[in-house]
């Protein structure tokens, strides 16, 4: 891209009649030799002090805002937010950007010198993994910039700046380079004195800026917003005595008004299918607390959707809103806690609030109702969001405030994408409508699975844990009557089960407060309570008797009243499974026993999961010898591996004779056999790579990619793609799945003709070739000392009796993760090997359509002959 084109965004954000920053109009240098590329680090006292790293490439300075500055400690990861390209002349800029302009504050040249790319810099930059060496006055050695996978709906381009372990690196106990060398390399002055330097470049507008015009961090936090044509902002000159809030040339529809009382929220009506057409935009639906943030006189108040003051629950959010450079505002948004894959987790949000971990909470802002003395509710949605985005852009990178991006793409496609990643759904909004309270059809929500609030009308005590609940009995209102809805028997961790028991015992009543029939099984052992609490529940559907099916508790909703809970419209069966699974006949004892105490999933929940995905998991475990990880008392207590059939096993657990073993192996033939394994508390299932009828002839090759410390997801995905390419050169199609732990599994089906030794030799050749080509990134050696900072390509899974976690098997990990098959194209959007769990699997399967491994065993692939070795695989 020409430098002039690359700088369009840079120029659009600045008024060069007000700021003396270079416009880039004189940029003529398009390319430079690798040994002559320049870099600069500028210390920037904007609203938040940070350091800007700029690398010359293709006639511009590629730029990142490093929030905490570079660290010379090897392995330290510093957040680096990718910002717009800057002109080459910016590498000489030191001065003051005036208040009211983008990036207002002092800019100091902290370091500069040459940077030397390691490898092709354009390819590294494009794929999000740029390696380079710095030769500066203050910092040097090898570094890496690694792009982080964006969270769902997020537009911020976050990278990590990482120092390599070399002679230029420092120990953690050595002085911090940022503290040791604080001053300008140009003038030797600290950043606080930049404004006093008469030679410093600054906006003068006819009169010089004096040192008395510099601002404290608190003043800077209240400084006016940057101006911008897109929102019609009109920036007034900054006062020398006090900073005035932003003044806006508001359209007539935005009348002047003070912030009044609580604004009832606009609510999304349920819809089976997202609307089509250009009148709607679509946003990711968040799984958290709907909140309203009200800013007045420097103080922010956080309110619930019913107007309750929850500022004390969200002090970090209130503080972040109060520090925005505006006078007054009313924001509409949602507080969430996200997992590493960017999926919001309501239970994790409640735990964060309870533990006071405010740093884990993110506040997504999706509407702006009032700003600086003007009521914006009458403006159309896109106009409100346009202004909102500019306001949120002034929040510091890495803080809790986020702008909720919208998409003009077809809503159905976005919904499919969100569901396959395990998200909750999307909200579609009319672009031309004002903000109107209530469910008026302006906003529509389409969910990935059945999920809604229910009234708690009773509970069943746990059969395995004293003074804890085993399930909740639920209801909902219809035409003023409270009706039964059945039970939710999973989703309670141990502490939650005990807390609910203590709270509900105090609310017990003699009989149910609900009307209508309730099956005898649903009434068994129920203790009824007054209908005051509201629980959020995710479930698989409704039975013919209008009872919930496979319901899981997600948390209590203190922000909603029991009287407003009604039955919502169900999402569509967008991609129904080709075959409905049979109903198992095996009875579980103690179905409420917690197998994953911290995640809150029980033996009954595990059985429900396997029943729902039976058609997918069956080809991976039926007719194969199995090794099990059994955890009778839960994953935290006394788990053990079971390789052989045992006395007293359920008759549905079959014996497989192995001539090389004294005891028979374990096998199953149908869903009853799988549920029998659940009854035996098998939380992991590990099949052989061969079938029982041909124990010595493997029919699947498996490569277990096990990342060492400090290996990011992008590196792991790249290694998996290398394995795929290697196999493809030998005409072997391969498939991939998450391990449910740290790594990825690449699997290739082959005809059962070769021996185990031949299969292992071939896989070892692939692994050795990868390690030889990338010794700094990959190892084929099992020794732990060789695996630090590398990916171990484990080919040893291809031996007789060796196993790996089955596709769709759960794992004995605190978050109840699943080893999930995925499409190759999905790897970039997942973000971690434990992304899929018992918490989010149902959302994915609802839109999966077909098993990503469908047809694997129908491929007639041959294991290459003995001549196929590393030289042939990785030419």
Q: How many Cα atoms occupy the beta-carbon half-sphere of 662 within 13 Å? A: 0
Q: CA nearest 641: which of 666, 671, 605?
A: 666
Q: Which of 209, 174, 230, 8 is nearest to 99 (CA)?
A: 209
**Chain position carrying tokens 């899974």:** 797
CB pairs under 8 A, 24+ apart, for 555-561? 555/346, 555/347, 555/349, 555/350, 556/350, 557/453, 558/304, 558/534, 559/289, 559/290, 559/304, 559/305, 559/306, 559/308, 559/310, 560/305, 560/306, 560/453, 560/534, 561/306, 561/534
Question: Under a CB-based contact definition with an 8 Å cutoff, are residues 805 and 685 in contact?
Answer: yes
| Dihedral sign (CA 130, 131, 135, 140) | positive
What are the helix (H) ranges across 307-395? Answer: 315-322, 346-355, 381-392
In this structure, are residues 285 and 424 in contact, taking their beta carbons and an 8 Å threshold?
yes
Of residues 409, 395, 530, 391, the one with CA closest to residue 153 = 409
Query: Catalytic annotation on 866?
Result: no
The 3-class secondary structure across 539-562, one letter per residue, is ECEECCCCCEECCEEEEECCCCCH
Q: Are strands 735-738 and 821-822 parallel, antiparallel or unpaired?
A: antiparallel
Strand locations in 235-321 (E): 269-270, 280-284, 289-296, 299-304
What six digits make up the tokens of 195?
């404004």
Residues paired with residue 112 on neighbouring β-strands, in sequence order: 40
Alpha carbon distance 407, 756 (integer Å): 51
CB 742 within 8 A of CB 707: yes
Q: Which residues contact 121 (CB under 8 A, 6 or more apart)?
A: 34, 57, 130, 132
Kindly state the tokens that stand for 489. Answer: 């028997």
Show the 3-state SS of 574-592. Answer: CCCCCCCCCCCCCCCCCCC
Give how far Cα 510 sits from Cα of 337, 457, 505, 507, Å. 39, 11, 12, 10
Q: Print the SS3 string covering 525-542.
A: CCEEECCCCEEEEEECEE
> End-to-end distance of the chain based on CA atoms, in angstroms?
33
Neighbours of 385 (CB within 10 A): 24
One of 43, 151, 163, 285 is an active-site residue; which one?
285
Number of other CB atoms surrounding residue 743 within 10 Å: 22
Alpha helices in 333-487 (DSSP H): 346-355, 381-392, 411-420
Structure tokens at 798: 């291809």
DSSP state of 385: H
**With contact defined as beta carbons under 8 Å apart, do 623 and 699 qualify?**
no
The conformational region for residue 550 under phi > 0 = left, psi -120 to 50 = alpha, else beta, is left
Residues in the chain: 875
What DSSP string describes 624-668?
Answer: S-EEEEE-TT-TTS--EEE-B--TT--TTSEEE--TT-SS-EEE-
The pair of three-digit structure tokens given for residue 288, joined into one six-digit string: 């958290």
- Residues carrying an active site annotation: 285
């Amino acid at each position: 891209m020409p430098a002039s084109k690359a700088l369009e965004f840079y120029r659009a954000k600045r008024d060069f009649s007000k700021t003396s920053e270079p416009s880039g109009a004189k940029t003529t240098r398009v390319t430079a030799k690798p040994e002559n590329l320049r870099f600069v680090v500028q210390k920037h006292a904007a609203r938040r002090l940070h350091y800007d790293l700029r690398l010359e490439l293709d006639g511009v300075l590629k730029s990142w805002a490093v929030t905490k500055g570079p660290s010379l400690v090897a392995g330290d990861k510093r957040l680096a937010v990718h910002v717009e390209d800057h002109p080459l002349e910016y590498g000489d800029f030191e001065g003051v950007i005036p208040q009211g302009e983008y990036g207002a504050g002092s800019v100091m040249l902290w370091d500069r010198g040459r940077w030397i790319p390691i490898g092709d810099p354009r390819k590294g930059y494009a794929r999000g993994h740029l390696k380079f060496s710095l030769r500066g006055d203050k910092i040097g050695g090898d570094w890496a910039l690694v792009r982080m996978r964006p969270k769902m709906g997020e537009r911020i381009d976050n990278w990590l700046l990482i120092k390599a372990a070399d002679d230029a690196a420092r120990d953690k106990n050595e002085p911090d380079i940022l503290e040791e060398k604080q001053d300008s390399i140009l003038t030797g002055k600290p950043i606080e004195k930049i404004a006093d330097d008469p030679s410093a470049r600054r906006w003068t507008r006819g009169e010089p800026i004096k040192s008395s015009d510099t601002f404290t961090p608190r003043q800077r936090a209240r400084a006016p917003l940057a101006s911008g044509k897109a929102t019609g902002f009109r920036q007034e000159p900054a006062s020398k005595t006090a900073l005035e809030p932003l003044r806006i040339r508001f359209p007539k529809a935005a009348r002047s008004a003070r912030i009044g009382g609580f604004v009832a929220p606009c609510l999304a009506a349920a819809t089976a299918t997202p609307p089509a057409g250009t009148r709607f935009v679509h946003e990711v639906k968040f799984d958290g607390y709907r909140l309203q943030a009200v800013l007045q006189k420097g103080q922010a108040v956080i309110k619930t959707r019913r107007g309750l003051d929850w500022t004390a629950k969200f002090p970090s959010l209130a503080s972040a809103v109060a520090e925005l450079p505006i006078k007054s505002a009313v924001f509409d948004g949602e507080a969430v806690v996200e997992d590493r894959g960017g999926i919001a987790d309501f239970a994790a949000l409640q735990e964060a609030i309870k533990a006071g971990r405010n740093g884990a909470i993110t506040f997504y802002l999706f509407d702006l109702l009032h700003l600086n003395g003007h009521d914006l509710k009458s403006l159309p949605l896109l106009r409100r969001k346009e202004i909102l985005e500019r306001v949120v852009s002034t929040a510091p990178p890495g803080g809790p405030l986020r702008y909720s991006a919208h998409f003009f793409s077809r809503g159905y496609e976005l919904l499919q994408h969100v569901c396959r990643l395990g998200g909750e759904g999307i909200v579609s909004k009319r672009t031309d409508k004002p903000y109107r309270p209530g469910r008026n059809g302006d906003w529509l929500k389409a969910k990935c699975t059945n999920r809604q609030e229910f009234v708690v009308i009773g509970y069943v005590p746990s059969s395995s844990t004293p003074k804890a609940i085993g399930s909740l009995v639920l209801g909902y209102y219809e035409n003023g009557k409270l009706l039964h809805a059945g039970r939710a028997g999973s989703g309670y961790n141990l502490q939650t089960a005990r807390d609910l028991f203590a709270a509900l015992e105090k609310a017990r009543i003699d009989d149910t407060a609900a009307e209508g029939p309730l099956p005898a099984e649903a009434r068994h052992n129920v203790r009824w309570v007054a209908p005051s609490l509201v629980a959020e529940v995710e479930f698989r559907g409704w039975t013919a008797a209008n009872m919930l099916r496979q319901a899981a508790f997600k948390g209590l909703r203190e922000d909603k009243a029991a009287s407003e809970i009604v039955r919502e419209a169900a999402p569509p069966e967008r991609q129904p499974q080709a075959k409905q699974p049979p109903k198992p006949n095996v009875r579980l004892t103690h179905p409420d026993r917690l197998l994953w105490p911290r995640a809150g999933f029980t033996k009954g929940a595990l059985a429900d999961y396997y029943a729902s995905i039976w058609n997918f998991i069956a080809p991976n475990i039926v007719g194969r010898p199995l090794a099990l990880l059994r955890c009778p008392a839960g994953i935290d207590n006394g788990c053990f591996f079971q390789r052989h059939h045992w006395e007293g096993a359920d008759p549905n657990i079959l014996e497989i004779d192995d001539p090389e073993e004294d005891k028979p192996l374990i096998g199953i033939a149908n869903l009853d056999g799988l549920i029998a394994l659940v009854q035996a508390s098998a939380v992991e299932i590990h099949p052989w790579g061969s079938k029982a009828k041909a124990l010595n002839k493997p029919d699947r090759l498996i490569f277990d990619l096990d990342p060492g410390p400090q290996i990011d997801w992008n590196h792991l995905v790249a290694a998996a793609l290398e394995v795929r390419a290697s196999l493809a050169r030998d005409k072997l199609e391969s498939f991939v799945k998450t391990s449910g732990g740290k790594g990825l599994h690449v699997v290739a089906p082959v005809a059962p003709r070769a021996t185990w030794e031949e299969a292992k030799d071939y896989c070892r050749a692939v692994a050795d070739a990868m390690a030889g080509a990338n010794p700094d990134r990959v190892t084929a050696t099992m020794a732990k000392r060789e695996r630090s900072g590398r990916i171990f390509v484990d080919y040893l899974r291809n031996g007789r009796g060796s196993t790996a976690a089955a596709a769709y098997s759960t794992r004995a990990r605190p978050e109840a993760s699943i080893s999930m098959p995925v499409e190759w194209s999905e790897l970039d959007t997942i973000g971690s090997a434990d992304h899929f769990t018992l918490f989010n699997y149902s959302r994915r399967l609802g839109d999966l359509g077909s098993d990503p491994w469908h047809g694997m065993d129908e491929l007639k692939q041959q294991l290459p002959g003995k001549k196929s070795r590393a030289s042939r695989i990785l030419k």
